[in-house]
Amino acid sequence: MLGLIITAATLPLVVPLFRFEGGIQEGDVASSTFPAAHEASFESAALTEAARNDAAQAVPEQALPVDTTLRDKQIEQATRYLDLVRAIVVRTDLSAQLKQDAIAKLTSPQPFTNRERTVFQSFGATELQELARKVATGLDAIMSSPLKADQIDAAIREHVAAAPQPVATAEEGEALSAMLRVFTVETFRLDAAATEAERAAARQQVAPVFRTYAAGQVIVTEGQEITAQDIEALKATGVIDDGVDFFAVAGGAIVALGAGLVAAAYAFLFQPFASPATRRMALIAVSFAAVLVAVRVLLPLVTPDSEHRYFAFAMPVATAAVIAACFGELSFAALVAVLAGLLAAFIGGTAPQIAGTSYVGSLQSLELAMAYTAGGLAGAAAVYRASRLSRFAAAAMAIALATSAVMAAFWLVSAQRANVDLAWIALAAGLHGLGAALLSVGVFVVLAMVFGITTRLQLMELVQSDHPLLRRLQDEAPGTYHHSMLVGALAERAAVQVAADPLLVRVGAYFHDIGKLAMPGHYVENMLDGATSPHDAMEPAESAKVIRAHVTNGLDLARKYRLPSLVRDFIPQHHGTRLVTYFYRQAAASGQPVAAADYRYDGPRPQTREAAIVMLADSCEAVSRARQDEGAAAIDQIVDSVFAERLAEGQLDECDITLRDLQAVAASFKATLRAVYHPRVAYPSPTPEEIATLARGETPMPG
């Protein structure tokens, strides 16, 4: 499943089929000089379109027929205006000033100047009547053809200059021009359909524009602003891959399939995930795919890096490896770091954009791959089996240092380097580390809950002595509590010796016997010395049923207190499918037929090394406690016999613990149990002087 997810997620990213925003755009500045990859002669769609647009724009707008109603209306208004002026001029009861004031009060479409009104006043009635006739003739001539607003003044000047009835005096010409200016309006009405038809015909008459480039001919020089025609030429000459290259598709598919197969084979062969493995694999695969998607979308936006800002190195690619280290083995996280680094560089190098804009040469591609990989390895090592959030801060620093170290090494061998680049390198590396740490914390805390995965932070909370179940165990079943603490210490040290998970072992040991809280007095470690055992009045089968019930009762309590499934598994597996030996043998000694199934735990047998270690620690601690009076010399024999018995019973057949692991665990148990149950020195009785001193209430003086 892991391999399929990684392959399916990687395939559309490394194969240049799906295009995201980025790459070269019109208006960008070329980061380097780009010559034609091969000879090409092609129709330039951009130049052809520009020529056709010019031809279309050269076609004037077509007009609808002139509205004669508008023309006649303006003639009527002009005639009426001059009639009113003539009526004022011929009055003898008005002074010249009053006549001028009266003319100024007449309404008109546009205002007349004082000079123009003075000219009107200077005319006699006959002259005004002649002016009205010439104005009507002029408006009829000018407004009988389509006329735009910006053409009115020129039309008036032309008419006055070439009028069929020329003006007699300069004043009459001035008055005629003024009247035409005020009463002439736009007569042009656009015929959109005719205009579009004419322009379409003009576009069709333009022949396609062809361009030819020889192989190696420079298309764009470094620093030049890229135009649409340049992009077109870059595509036609093979510099920009704008189509589907089936060879590139095949190469990308091989890379995606290879990455999926490597991850799947490693997971299948080495099983680097704790239970539930499926959820952990799914979370790591989703995180891995999300990182590659981010690279595919963002990398074209931050390249080319012509100004040496190194933003491509700030992308938190190390997140994939850090998350893998949180939920899997460190070796698998290292594999994820390498795959993520290589695939990120491959995605950047095969993105469908100008070849060379992301990487000027193979050295830049190598730098990106190595920086991503180094950051991932450092981050994974820093957070592996992290039980505190502070480890993620350490991971951020480790990622930043590893990334900046790689970048600094490449900066030293670069031909174009400046001291200011070091500041940008530090910033990019710091952003890489900070971003990866923050994203990983979010996934570690939030998505782990969504996927139902137990984190080490949750396990750390469970080993605190103030946990409600441990409090109850300490108060209601103190013997079981101390037994669990000893089993935890015993198993944790052994887990370290065989590279098992010591924290998980300790938590499992603390809670493996919580079912005894249901009837704590029925278990020997909680019985007071000299007290009567409740089993004395019970049949062996009934006693065995009570003892076996601590498993089912423990599972019920674990669900009630919402213990993670990883911890709940220790409750049934620490006894496996063993017999309740004491009562089984007691029943067998009675001579009656005994059904072994009535005395056998339901299991399952230990499924993990951690569960096997707790089973062995539980048995060894219990037997050693029962026989501690025999001295430390018997501890080695006790441990060996317990291990041999569990192997003979087949209790360890379903977990991946090896004989070498068992030898290391046994040696650890022996050392710990000898330290716990070593013989004590018997102190001699107090001297008569000590007794007398104590009787007087005095403190004995030290000797």
Taking only the tens place, the pLDDT of each residue in 178-220 is: 999 999 999 998 888 988 999 899 889 989 989 999 988 888 8
Q: What is the mean pLDDT of the chain?
A: 87
pLDDT at 17 over 60: no
Number of H helices, E strands in the chain: 30, 4
> What is the reported pLDDT for 392?
92
Average pLDDT over residues 27-56: 84
Q: How confident is the model at residue 360 (pLDDT cuts 50, 70, 90)?
A: very low
The answer on pLDDT for 38 being more than 80 is: yes
What CA–CA distance (Å, rounded) separates 622 from 575?
13
- The residues, any chain, with a CB within 8 Å of residue 332's CB and separated by 6 or more, are 266, 267, 270, 272, 273, 324
Residue 304 scores a pLDDT above 50: yes
Lowest average pLDDT, out of 11-20, 158-167, 189-198, goes to 11-20
Residue 628: its pLDDT value, please? 67
Per-residue pLDDT, averaged over 165-169, amounts to 75
In DSSP terms, which residues pair with 210 in a beta bridge? 43
Asked whether residue 237 carries a pLDDT value surpassing 50, the answer given is yes
Q: Which residue has the tokens 């109603």?
A: 69
CA quadruple 392, 611, 669, 485: dihedral sign: positive
pLDDT, residue 610, reads 95
Cα–Cα distances (Å) from 179 to 99, 117, 243, 355, 695, in that order, read 19, 11, 67, 70, 141
DSSP for residue 444: I
* SS3 state of residue 101: helix
Is it the case that residue 176 has pLDDT exceeding 90? no
Q: What integer is the mean pLDDT of 521-538?
A: 85
Q: Of 12-21, 117-126, 229-238, 421-430, give the lowest mean pLDDT range.
A: 12-21
Backbone torsions φ then ψ of 124, nearest 5 degrees: -90, 175
The mean pLDDT value for 592-613 works out to 92
Q: What does the pLDDT read at residue 504? A: 93
The pLDDT tens digits for 501-522 are: 999 999 999 999 999 999 999 9
Sequence-separated (6 or more) residues with CB below 8 Å from residue 396: 379, 433, 434, 436, 437
> 20 pLDDT band (50/70/90 cuts)?
very low
- Half-sphere exposure of residue 511, counting CA atoms within 13 Å on the CB side? 34
What value does the mean pLDDT take over residues 320-340?
Answer: 94
Question: Could you please report the per-residue DSSP string of 227-263?
Answer: PHHHHHHHHHTTSB--S--HHHHHHHHHHHHHHHHHH
Taking residues 350-361, report their average pLDDT: 48
Distant-in-sequence, close-in-space partners of 693: CB < 8 Å, separation ≥ 6:
699, 700
More confident residue, 628 or 454: 454
Is 90 exceeded by the pLDDT of residue 374?
yes
Note if the pTM is more than 0.85. Answer: no
Residue 369, number of CB atoms within 10 A of its CB? 22
E strand spans, 123-261: 210-213, 218-220
Averaging pLDDT over each range in 20-34, 108-122, 232-246, 338-352, which range is the top one? 108-122
What average pLDDT does range 128-141 have in this prediction? 89
d(C-alpha 103, C-alpha 345), whole Å: 86
Beta-bridged to residue 40, according to DSSP, are 213
User: Is-contact 545 616, C-beta < 8 A?
Assistant: no
pLDDT recorded at residue 634: 84
Q: Which two tokens stand for residue 366?
A: 């190598």
What local confidence, expressed as pLDDT, does residue 630 receive? 63
Position 128 pLDDT exceeds 60: yes
Residue 443 exposure: Cα atoms within 13 Å on the Cβ side: 26
Question: In this model, does residue 352 exceed pLDDT 60?
Answer: no
Contact at 8 Å (CB) between 452 and 282? no
Is 90 exceeded by the pLDDT of residue 670? yes
Q: In the prediction, which pLDDT does 242 show?
A: 59
**pLDDT-wise least confident of 49-53, 56-60, 353-357:** 353-357
pLDDT at 235 over 60: yes
Contact call for residues 248 and 16 (beta carbons, < 8 A) = yes
Q: Report residue 391 as tokens.
A: 């480890």
Per-residue pLDDT band for 396 (boundaries 50, 70, 90) equals: very high
Q: Evaluate if residue 411 carries a pLDDT over 70.
A: yes
The vertex-633 CA angle with 630 and 636, nearest 5°, equals: 110
634 CA to centre of own chain: 59
